[in-house]
């Protein structure tokens, strides 16, 4: 393969990995920080 082809594949795979990682962060990590455990709020 040519060097430009390898560089293009490398950059596109990095970009794709970043997009997938950011999407998973937005979908699962960020909303879970807003969740509360309701049983801790109740006083016994």
Radius of gyration of the chain (CA): 20
User: Is residue 42 in some structural domain?
Assistant: no
User: Is residue 41 in some structural domain?
Assistant: no
User: H or E element: which one contains 1?
Assistant: none
pLDDT in tens, 1-44: 799 999 999 999 999 999 999 999 888 877 666 667 767 666 55
Question: What is the reported pLDDT for 33?
Answer: 64
User: Is residue 37 in some structural domain?
Assistant: no
Question: What is the reported pLDDT for 42?
Answer: 61
User: Is residue 12 in some structural domain?
Assistant: yes
User: Is residue 24 in some structural domain?
Assistant: yes
Domain that includes residue 22, residue range: 3-31
- Alpha-carbon gap, residue 25 to 10, rounded angstroms: 23
Question: What is the reported pLDDT for 1?
Answer: 77
Question: What is the reported pLDDT for 29?
Answer: 79
Q: How many folded domains does the chain comprise? A: 1
User: Is residue 38 in some structural domain?
Assistant: no
């Amino acid at each position: 393969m040519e060097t430009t082809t390898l560089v293009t594949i490398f950059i596109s795979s990095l970009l794709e990995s970043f997009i997938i990682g950011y999407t998973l962060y937005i979908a699962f990590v960020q909303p879970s920080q807003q969740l509360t455990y309701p049983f801790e709020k109740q006083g016994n």
